[in-house]
């Protein structure tokens, strides 16, 4: 079983010198200036932060990220860093400042209008602007420099996270040739045909091949990546298709399904299930007997939120006995809202919820409650613990950690997870009720089945999922990558290295 303590022991006895450095665009916490002038600390949402924050705390490492909070500059030291958590500091957050043009080109432009839709099959066309790519390259170089400023060794261990930094692994390798670079791509990798649509696909592949270890969420993401390097870069690939040799360097490519801290600190600190339910019902002015479903997503077109609303509408149409007795609460964290695709999605969502509420609402009863604001994790857990079911309806998702957090939240072994078959999580959480989120009528039937599931069946399914997530937790995720990185660092001859990596997934959950 991988735990924080085992991870600490492993690192203490390994020959990785110096602190681990995580490079990720999103900072785990941001400091914002409130209206009264005081500074408030906000926990960032999203899967990446959920998985990595407990790890950086356990390793006492350094996290290099974009300083995006309105008061971030006010709290840093002379090296643009801050020690966290404030009450009991165990790791350092190094902030990198980006001006408006850099944010537009690197984050909104190339990362989120090009790479995000390029990697997700959600029917939004990527926009590839050469100016955006130039800015993306320049910003990747700035972050690579910041990482180097944070390390005191010639051979640091750097964890490069996600699609914001595809070029950084190679840049780090050029700046510190003896570093160990472990990169993880949190979102899906496009199929070979779609991959070619990006004019800079070769640059991205070369950038990522600066890594020693390159992790993806699922074996099919690995297959797509390896096919791309073979066809676009003519790279050499071993028989198991796990070791790529290119420009005289080797990169191990494997699936490491990401997970969450276990036991979850948020579940541990939560009030009892009954209290969670009471406060949620009181806040939303719901009858205590209401059947409650929740969804928790960033407001993103890949998350299938509109389709979830349509499935709720169909549920109420097919099963009128739920009208007045069933409420779906959708927590939607505002996200990337300067982009047209996100603004259009928001307008569509608000309009769809209002139409369904007009159709089935009555007096104060509204079947859909859309909560469009940031919720701190403690609050999210309160909703997850209060609910009869959680609906994750992504149209395409690398993993989806909300699914795993719902499981972590339910220490009463109750509640039903309705999970899109197009998430990475669906490969592991086979005791969820799987749905095709596009098939509205089928999804409505699955929701009805979830609402009618006996307590015995709920317990059986939830126990199985909790056993799985507790073992395949975030410490195991990083522990297996580190174990592989240590093998690569041992500089074994090709045949011996190949023998270490003769399968795509180090250990398969499910
Ligand atoms: O899924 C990829 C990811 O980077 C996750 O870490 C996170 O859920 C989300 O995207 C964060 O998006 P942003 O940083 O743009 O808010």
What is the atom index within ligand 1 of the atom nearest the CA of 24?
4
- Give the separation between CA 28 and CA 52, rounded to whole angstroms: 9
pLDDT value of residue 509: 59
- Give the separation between CA 24 and CA 184, rounded to whole angstroms: 10
Ligand 1 environment, Cβ below 6 A: 25-26, 46-48, 162, 186-187, 335-336, 398
> Ligand 1 mean position to 46 CA, how many Å?
5
- Give the separation between CA 470 and CA 476, rounded to whole angstroms: 10
pLDDT value of residue 19: 86
Q: Please determine, for residue 18, whether its predicted confidence score (pLDDT) is greater than 70.
A: yes
- Among the residue ranges 54-63, 90-99, 374-383, the one predicted with the least confidence is 54-63
Q: Which domains does the chain have, with CATH numbers?
A: 4-10+17-259+475-500 (3.40.50.2000), 265-471 (3.40.50.2000)
Question: Where does the pLDDT of residue 46 fall: very low under 50, low under 70, confident under 90, or very high at 90 and above?
Answer: confident
> Ligand 1 mean position to 49 CA, how many Å?
8
Question: Is 417 in contact with 393 (CB distance < 8 Å)?
Answer: no
Q: Average pLDDT over the chain, rounded to whole?
A: 95
pLDDT one-digit tens code per residue, 414-424: 999 999 999 99
Q: Locate tokens 């840093």: which residue?
A: 76
Question: Is 28 in contact with 37 (CB distance < 8 Å)?
Answer: no
pLDDT value of residue 508: 63
Average pLDDT over residues 227-234: 95
Share of the chain above pLDDT 70, in %: 99
DSSP string, 115-170: IHHHHS-SS------HHHHHHHHHHHHHHHHHHHHH--SSS-EEEEESGGGSSHHH
Average pLDDT over residues 57-78: 95
Residues in the chain: 510
Q: Please determine, for residue 413, whether its predicted confidence score (pLDDT) is greater than 90.
A: yes
Average pLDDT over residues 105-112: 98
pLDDT one-digit tens code per residue, 245-264: 999 999 999 999 999 999 99
What is the atom index within ligand 1 of the atom nearest the CA of 111?
15
Question: Where does the pLDDT of residue 15 fall: very low under 50, low under 70, confident under 90, or very high at 90 and above?
Answer: confident
pLDDT value of residue 510: 47
Average pLDDT over residues 118-134: 97
pLDDT value of residue 54: 86
Question: Where does the pLDDT of residue 501 fall: very low under 50, low under 70, confident under 90, or very high at 90 and above?
Answer: confident
Single out the residue of 379, 378, 358, 377 nearest to residue 368, CA to CA.
358
């Amino acid at each position: 079983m991988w735990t924080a303590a085992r991870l600490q022991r492993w690192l203490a006895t390994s020959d990785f010198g110096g602190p681990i450095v995580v490079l990720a665009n999103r900072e785990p916490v941001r400091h914002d200036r409130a209206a009264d002038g005081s500074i408030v600390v906000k926990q960032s949402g999203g899967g990446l932060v959920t998985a990595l924050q407990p790890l950086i705390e356990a390793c006492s490492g350094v996290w290099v990220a974009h300083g995006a909070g309105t008061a971030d500059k006010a709290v840093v030291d002379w090296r643009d860093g801050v020690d966290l958590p404030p009450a009991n500091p165990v790791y350092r957050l190094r902030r990198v400042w980006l001006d408006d043009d850099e944010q537009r080109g690197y984050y909104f432009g190339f990362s989120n209008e090009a790479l995000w839709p390029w990697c997700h099959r959600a029917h939004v066309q990527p926009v590839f602007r050469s100016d955006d790519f130039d800015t993306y390259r320049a910003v990747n170089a700035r972050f690579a420099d910041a990482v180097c400023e944070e390390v005191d060794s010639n051979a640091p261990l750097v964890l490069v996270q996600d699609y914001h930094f595809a070029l950084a692994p190679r840049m780090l390798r050029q700046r510190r040739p003896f570093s160990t670079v472990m990169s993880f791509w949190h979102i899906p990798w496009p199929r070979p045909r779609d991959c070619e649509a990006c004019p800079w696909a070769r640059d991205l592949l070369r950038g990522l091949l600066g890594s020693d270890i390159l992790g993806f969420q699922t074996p099919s993401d690995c297959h797509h990546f390896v096919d791309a390097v073979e066809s676009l870069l003519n790279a050499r690939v071993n028989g198991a298709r796990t070791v790529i040799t290119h420009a005289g360097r080797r990169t191990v490519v494997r699936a490491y399904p990401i997970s969450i801290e276990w036991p979850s600190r948020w579940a541990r600190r939560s009030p009892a299930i009954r209290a969670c339910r009471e406060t949620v019902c009181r806040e939303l002015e719901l009858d205590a007997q209401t059947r409650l479903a929740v969804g928790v997503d960033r407001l993103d077109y890949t998350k299938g939120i509109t389709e979830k609303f349509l499935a709720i509408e169909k549920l109420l149409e097919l099963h009128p006995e739920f009208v007045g007795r069933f409420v779906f609460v959708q927590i939607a964290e505002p996200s990337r809202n300067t982009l047209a695709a996100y603004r259009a999605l928001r307008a569509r969502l608000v309009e769809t919820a209002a139409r369904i509420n007009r159709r089935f609402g009555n007096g104060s009863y509204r079947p859909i409650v859309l909560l469009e604001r940031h919720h701190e994790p403690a609050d999210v857990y309160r909703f997850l613990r209060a609910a009869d079911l959680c609906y994750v309806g992504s149209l395409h998702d690398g993993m989806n950690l909300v699914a795993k957090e719902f499981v972590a939240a339910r220490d009463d072994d109750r509640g039903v997870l309705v999970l899109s078959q197009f998430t990475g999580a669906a490969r592991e959480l086979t005791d969820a009720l799987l749905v095709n989120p596009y098939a509205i009528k089928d999804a409505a039937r699955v929701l009805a089945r979830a609402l009618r599931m006996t307590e015995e069946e709920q317990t059986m399914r939830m126990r199985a999922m909790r056993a799985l997530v507790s073992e395949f937790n975030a410490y195991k995720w990083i522990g297996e990558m580190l174990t592989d990185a240590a093998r690569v660092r041992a500089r074994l001859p090709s045949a011996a290295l190949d023998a270490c990596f003769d399968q795509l997934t180090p250990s398969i959950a499910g």
